[in-house]
Chain A
Amino acid sequence: MNAVLKVSGLNRFFGGIQAVKDVTFEVAPGELKALIGPNGAGKSTCFNMLMGQLPPSSGKVFLNGEEITGKPPRDIWRRGVGRTFQITGTYQSMTVAENVQMALMSHHRRIFAIRPYAYKLYREEAMALLEIVGMADQADRACAILAYGDLKRLELAIALANEPTLLLMDEPTAGMAPKERIRLMQLTADIVRERGVSVLFTEHDMDVVFAHAHHIMVLNRGELIAEGTATEVRNNKKVQEVYLGGGMLFNKEDTHA
């Protein structure tokens, strides 16, 4: 099957420092794939290049066979990529439903419409999306007063507004209580199954990663050092080293590992 997302030979330099080194991978249709790695490994840099926030120094990104390297975020979104952010960026001065309606207006290219009242446009569609993430009962609340976990779910609803083929989720559960994390990822997994969307996400919480990801990629110092299923990654020597330290100080402890 053709890959939804294909990344080949992605590099990014900041000054003299190489933050991302020759990263190559694919995301298959309906796949839930995780990108993990310690702080500063280059996950966010990678993500920002995929979504067009940052141009790569070299390398190419293809979405459904079309090259999208270096295109602005709004173009990439129009081609069917939804995105959620590590720190939510919802519109604080709008209601929950309006946040979704805003994305729908953009999707249906009604942003420059002058006559209609915005709050009436695509209300039904927005409610349907909010229903999916379990936020319909809060549709008319001001976004500014939502709990953090609810904001994250709202962001997911917004990301689904353009009927994406691929969702990019940057640390979707950061800042959430453990129970909420599991709920959100369960929800994401359901969406993947029911709508056939592919998801690529970065994550800190290993419980979340191992419970839901079909495939896991490990990034360290800008390089992909491992890729595989949960068990494969867990048993990978290199990965253990990265997560427990360089091992140059207490070598004797390594025997326990």
Chain B
Amino acid sequence: MGLFVAQILTGLANAAALFLVASGLSLIFGVTRIVNFAHGSLYMLGAYFGITLMNTLPGAFGFWSAILLSGLIIGLIGVIIEICVLRPVYRAPELFQLVATFGVILVIQDLALMIWGAEDRLGPRAPGLKSVVRIMGEPVPQYDLALIAITPFILLGLWWLITKTRIGILVRAATQDREMVGALGVNQSWLFTGVFFLGSALAGLGGAIQLPKGGADLLMDLNIISSVFVVVVIGGMGSIPGAFVASVLISVLNVFGVAYLPQSTLVLMYVVMAVVLLLRPYGLFGREEKAGEHGQAGEPDRPIRPAGLYGRIAVAALLAVLALIPVFSGSFTQVLLTDIIIFCLFAASLQFMLSTGGLVSFGHAAYFGGGAYAAALLVSYSDTPMEIAFMFAPLAAGLLAILFGWFCIRLSGVYFAMLTLAFSQLIWSAAFQWYEVTGGDDGLVNIWPAKWLSGTNAYYYFTLIVGVGGIILLRHLTHAPIGYALRGTRDSARQAEATGINVKLIQWTAFSIAGALAGLAGGLFVFSKGSIFPNELEIAKSFDALIVVFLGGVKTLSGGVVGAGFMEVAKDWLTRLEYWRLILGLVIIGVVIIAPDGIVGTLRKVSERIGLRRTEEFMK
């Protein structure tokens, strides 16, 4: 009984930071409709600033003012981000804003590395609250009790701000109908900036207040963001009480999970989220998203045609060069090119559902890593020949996509994206925590290709044929009736339904095809490396794919492939630099603001302008 109570108390104490960060994210989303992926980064900065300030300011007073000051500083940083990065892209499609916030994550990671170094920092303990209290015989840290006491006041304070002040009334009104608030004389820009300040400050406070229980490290940004998404989605995007209830729920669940089901703590969280979304698609306290609110802005996509004779000759020439690489180049180049081709296939599979289908997935790594793991498990446990295990990769990934897709396509927009994320995290946590089967963090090793493919040359050709084949297949499907129908469902779901097309069925099919081909890439990957680790299933991997599709050009067919190729080469160069994330992040933000058409889209426009290419007003 005592242990039970103590665990509940730990859970409640853990909920404090989570709630602060989640309520900030929720607030920002409610008003600006931006899912701020960089919110975890603000939390991390809050922790670092907190440590620095706590070490400077003396005593209990110094400790608590350090927390408040961190919140203030992070709030101001949030304002800078809002004004410099997000204001220029408010009118752009959602995806652009997301990608911009990915860029911010990278920039902040390297800035933190520059300022505070790579070493993990242990948080100072709170003066006067360093010992433990015995409750029913179990030790409970005093600071935990302090947090449990403080959290309701934060909730109360937020509640007061939101319900009783003019700012709060405007925020709630804008959450419902931004345009009308503007027509009544409220300057939306400053309201947005204000909300960003508040939301960021809350994240900063969260980062600083958890210091005595944890510390600060460079991974905490992405570590918290997945829990925060879970909380916000369970509670309902935009709902502060929802964020509170869900924070408590998830934190308590985690503590009990650690105690009783140590193998499944992470899985548990995502299972809860998936169940909530299925029963209440907009979260416990969320409101239904009105269609059209998120409409894809910007100019429509161009009509497409299969490549003409010149295009085919160019591709054939490129393939010929790639085929000749082993003749005059070392194994290093081949390994790099193998990586590039695999990544290109992965990106192309995402682009098929994302660009052609308008289905923005945040969890595409599940099918890449899922395919890889499926093959690796077969090899590890049943000595399956490589050829069969390899073919099992796209099959397993495809089946996984059929299963998850069935749930996901019932939702749309941000909620669709969030559910794909939840499922991918589910797979990741299974791989990470189910140690007996997956080897956990140690991964699965010794997954080598069959004899006839074992040389660098042989595997390179294998990858070239299968990878390029997959890309060409996707490209063909885009031009086939199924691809056209998919584009139709994206352009106008209403028109598609009104002309006999089953929109959900088409989307489900596309989801499954994209999953299977990501699995194919995963199969190529696992046998090229000889091993697979859970990091291939991480959020970061899904983000990578999203970013390259975007960099290459969302509104093009070859954007994913070109972006992936560009990114892998650029990474190969950049990673030799110490602060390559900073540069990459700035490039991403720059592309979002200056060249939102991506590499392919921009090249196309430039060549049209200088007359190398006709504008595509007339096809044929």
Interfacial residues, chain A to chain B (CB-CB below 8 A): 51, 53, 72-74, 77-78, 83, 85, 89-95, 98, 102-103, 105-107, 110-119, 121, 140-145, 158, 161-162
In-complex Cβ contact of B300 among A85, A141, A144 (8 A): A144
Residues of A within 8 A of B306 (CB): 117, 119
Q: Contact at A105–B484, with CB atoms within 8 Å? A: yes
CB-based contact A73/B498 at 8 Å = yes
Asked whether B482 lies within 8 Å of A141 as measured between CB atoms, the reply is no
Interface size class of B (residues with CB under 8 A): 35 or more
Contact between A93 and B481 (Cβ–Cβ < 8 Å)? Answer: no
Which B residues from 246 to 260 make CB contacts under 8 A with A?
none
In the complex, the number of residue pairs spanning A and B with C-beta atoms less than 8 Å apart equals 118
Give the complex CA separation of A65 and B472 in angstroms: 48
Q: Is the CB of B500 within 8 A of A78?
A: yes
Task: Determine whether the beta carbon of B616 is less than 8 Å from that of A142.
Answer: yes
**In angstroms, how far is the closest chain A Cβ from the Cβ of B186?**
29
Q: Using an 8 Å CB-CB cutoff, how does the interface string of B467-490 with A read, 1 for contact, 0 for none? A: 000000000010111111101101
Q: Does B491 contact A (CB under 8 A)?
A: yes
Residues on A with beta carbons closer than 8 Å to the beta carbon of B502? 74
B482 touches A95 (CB 8 A): no
Query: Which residues on B are within 8 Å of A, measured CB to CB?
Result: 299-306, 477, 479-485, 487-488, 490-492, 494-495, 497-502, 506, 509, 616-620
Closest A residue to B305 by beta carbon equals A119
Pairs A–B under 8 Å by Cβ, sample size 24 = A74-B501, A77-B498, A77-B500, A89-B495, A90-B492, A91-B495, A92-B491, A92-B492, A93-B300, A93-B301, A94-B491, A102-B488, A102-B499, A105-B484, A107-B500, A113-B480, A113-B481, A114-B477, A141-B617, A141-B619, A142-B617, A142-B619, A158-B499, A162-B499
- The answer on a CB contact under 8 Å between A93 and B479 is no
Inter-subunit contact A118/B303 (CB<8 Å): no
> Chain A's nearest CB lies how many Å from the CB of B469?
15
Excluding A77-B498, A111-B501, 10 further A-B contacts by CB distance (< 8 Å) are A77-B499, A91-B487, A91-B488, A92-B492, A93-B487, A102-B499, A111-B482, A111-B506, A121-B481, A158-B495
Decide if B616 touches A111 in the complex (CB within 8 Å).
Answer: no
Q: How far is the CB of B95 from chain A (nearest CB, A)?
A: 16
Shortest Cβ distance from residue B285 to the other chain A in the assembled complex, whole angstroms: 22
Establish whether residues B499 and A118, one from each chain, have CB atoms under 8 Å apart when the complex forms.
no
Pick the 10 closest A-B CB pairs, nearest first: A93-B301, A92-B300, A89-B495, A89-B492, A118-B484, A91-B491, A106-B500, A144-B300, A103-B499, A140-B619
The reply to whether A110 and B303 form a contact with Cβ atoms under 8 Å apart is no
Indicate if the CB atoms of B479 and A119 lie closer than 8 Å: yes
B523 to chain A, nearest CB (A): 22
Chain B residue contacts of A51, Cβ below 8 A: 498
The interface residues of chain A lying within 8 Å CB-to-CB of B305 are 119
B484 touches A89 (CB 8 A): no
B481 A110 Cβ-Cβ under 8 A: yes
Q: Tell me the bound Cα distance from A72 to B496 in angstroms.
A: 12
**Of B483, B501, B620, the contact of A106 (CB 8 Å cutoff):** B501
Residue of B nearest to A87 (CB): B494
Distance between Cα atoms of A143 and B304 in the complex (Å): 12
Measured CA separation A145–B303 after assembly (Å): 11
CA distance A73 to B502 in the complex (A): 10
Residue of B nearest to A140 (CB): B619
Contact residues in A for B506 (Cβ distance below 8 Å): 111
Question: Does the CB pair B487–A94 fall under 8 Å?
Answer: yes
The contact of B494 among A78, A85, A105, A107, by CB within 8 Å, is: A85
Q: Which residue of B lies closest to A76 (CB)?
A: B498
Shortest beta-carbon distance from A80 to chain B in Å: 11
Taking CB atoms, residues of chain A closer than 8 Å to B501 are 74, 106, 111
Distance in angstroms from B613 CB to nearest chain A CB is 15
CA distance A168 to B485 in the complex (A): 23
Within the assembled complex, what's the spacing in Å between the Cα atoms of A93 and B304?
8
Contact call B481/A105, Cβ cutoff below 8 A:
yes
A115 and B485 CA atoms in complex are apart in Å by 14
Q: For residue B620, which residue of chain A has the nearest CB?
A: A140
CB distance from B45 to the nearest CB of A (A): 41
Residues of A within 8 A of B499 (CB): 74, 77, 102-103, 106-107, 158, 161-162
Q: Which residues of A contact B299 (CB under 8 A)?
A: 144
Bound Cα distance from A86 to B409, whole angstroms: 27
Contacts of B477 in A (CB 8 A): 114
Are A74 and B500 interface neighbours, CB within 8 A? Answer: yes
Can you name the residue of chain A whose Cβ is closest to the Cβ of B491?
Answer: A91
Chain A nearest CB from B272 CB (Å) reads 33
B303 adjacent to A98 (CB under 8 Å): yes
Q: Which residues of A contact B498 (CB under 8 A)?
A: 51, 73-74, 77, 83, 85, 89
